[in-house]
Structure 1
Amino acid sequence: MAMLTVRNLPEEVHRALRVRAAQHGQSMEAEVREILESAISPKGRVKLGSLLADMGRQAKLSDEEFAVFEQVRDETPARPVSFE
């Protein structure tokens, strides 16, 4: 795993990190890792299923049309295509 050294950290930031870590019951190192991970993770990440459901609502699908999405998929293996 990679390591990171932060130099010239203001004393008030260091103190605030120490307090925040204590409030969360973890080490300062774990607290900083958590802060960094949350800072770079995508905001408002939308999952494909949620996006498709929203599109269906916007399209004002009928109950019958929406029911198609809830049907159990056919698990029968596909047959090879014959071009002869």
Structure 2
Amino acid sequence: MENYEIQKINIDNFYKKVGNNVKRIREKKGFSQLQLANEIGHNSVGHIAKAEIYAYNKRFNLEQLYKISIVLQVDIKDFFD
């Protein structure tokens, strides 16, 4: 088995991609950050806003992505494409 070195920049790019995809799909579906936050059980947009652009290392976890996929009526895999 090979030992792969996964550099931090690759992880950062992955989280940025996921956040960008959430933002793109959210906007396409006509949801504001506040609406989405409320639908997944948050009462402020702070986490959504930061995770969409991977600011301050904020990112979506799997539970949040699952909830977002239900709210936006998309397959969770769409966030990773």
Question: Which TM-score bucket, shorter chain as reference?
Answer: under 0.3
Larger-Rg structure: 1
Higher relative contact order (CA 8 A, sep 6+): 2
TM-score by length of 1: 0.27
